[in-house]
Amino acid sequence: MKRIWLCATLLGFWAAPGWTQTTEELVNDGKNTENVMTQSLGYDRKSYSPLKQITKGNVKRLVPIWNSSLMNDQGELAAPTIYNGVMYVINGKWTFAIDVETGRQIWRTQVELEQGIVRTAFHRGAPAIYNGKLFRVTIDNHLLALDMKTGKQLWNQKFADAKEGYYATGAPIVANGVLISGVAGGESTTRGFLDGWDPDTGKKLWRRYTIPAPGEPGSETWPRNSDAWTQGGGPTWRSGSYDPQLDLVYWGTGNAEPYDPKPREGLDSLFTNSVLAIRPKTGEVVCYFQYTPNDVYDVDATDENVLADIQVAGQPRKVMIQTNKNGFMYVLDRTNCKLIAAHPFVKVNWATHIDMATGRPVLTDVSKRFAAGEEVEIWPSRGTSEHRPHLRQRGERAASTKARAAEANSNWRTLYGRHRQATGGQAR
């Protein structure tokens, strides 16, 4: 039984207008600025608030009102969600409900891990809330549903085994009434997947592996007569975007495994380093785009795909945008996953450009020399030309290693530097 602490006095007299979060409220997240119901203040993952009270002129007048310990010495990576005056906060050790006005703790529920788990517990993303329940994952591959009023655990489903190299840190999302969760562990020669769940009961509705089995679409990009696909990577350790009009979830996948491309015979290794457009009710893959075929640099594609409706060549287009770790910014048509544009946003030396006809990077001699076994310098650095909430910390640490921090396209903070890699893709 999970341990739960309640502030009885506060619960007894606290008047809350309602606990049920509807699909309509999730779709319209951001319009009612009193609530923050999704990780990025909207399914489109723009992370933009329309509030205007805080400006450049008055921001220096902000002062602390309250603070509350989250009882976690690992630091905080997860964003909170807010509903009807209550802030829901998660980390690797605890789940909290906190009164936004006063900072008073309403309840807290401790995460209890399986025996033998030695990996440090941490959490990215944000708790998902829907229909009076809070959903989160734990480092030992459990998906939990808690009662938002009390913090009581309603159900608990284990979806992977830590002994096989899997772990979980990313936030699940609710799309069209289905709870969808991913998994980490691509560096541990696992096989990535997404799961769809009934949020009321915890029943698993479907599983979509990111690495196809023999005979499935995409299996031709893995060696024949080999079990490489069973350990091919493609983790899903960040959260997805969702277009409710198209009823499509867009979820990025991680690196191919192993980093050394020889066991993979230098093939494309679908569906690693890709974005998948998925039907939330069934897990069907409607379309996909692979950013980096035959990845040898660990430039995964798990970062958020930002959804927007923009004009392209004078025509309205529904697009998704990602600043990929390979150094290129991509604009895709989110109705069919076709490439619209791709340009470098940091220094890139492993490819000259993206071929607009095929969507593939055009490799330079640097990449070819690396594939031949020569030690080369690869720009950008592995896994650092990305958009993340904690890049400021990475930039501060990088200052001591002669890396550079820069602003790209005014909205994206990027970090890149020299990164030496030797035969087999091993970082040095």
Query: Catalytic site residues?
Result: 298
List the alpha helices (DSSP H) in 158-283: none
- State the Rg of the chain over Cα: 22
Q: Distance between the two ends of the chain, CA-based, in angstroms? A: 45
Degrees, nearest 5: CA angle 345-347-350: 110
Cα-flanking dihedrals φ and ψ of residue 409, to 5°?
A: 55, 25
Instruction: Return the percent helix, strand and coil in the chain, to nearest 5.
Output: 10, 35, 55
Question: Distance between CA 269 and CA 294 in Å, rounded?
Answer: 6
Phi, psi dihedrals of residue 338, rounded to the nearest 5°: -85, 145
Residue 262, token pair as written in the block:
């020889």
Largest CA distance in the chain: 70
Cross-strand pairs, 290 = 274
d(CA 166, CA 234): 12
Q: Which of 232, 204, 240, 205 is nearest to 216 (CA)?
A: 232
CA dihedral for 285, 291, 297, 303, sign (positive or negative): negative
Residue 175 in tokens: 């799309």
Beta bridge partners of 179: 174, 197
333 contact partners, CB below 8 Å, separation of at least 6: 317, 318, 319, 339, 340
Instruction: Return the exposure string of 375-390: e unless at least 16 CB atoms fall within 10 Å of the residue's CB, then b.
Output: ebebbbbbbbbbbbee
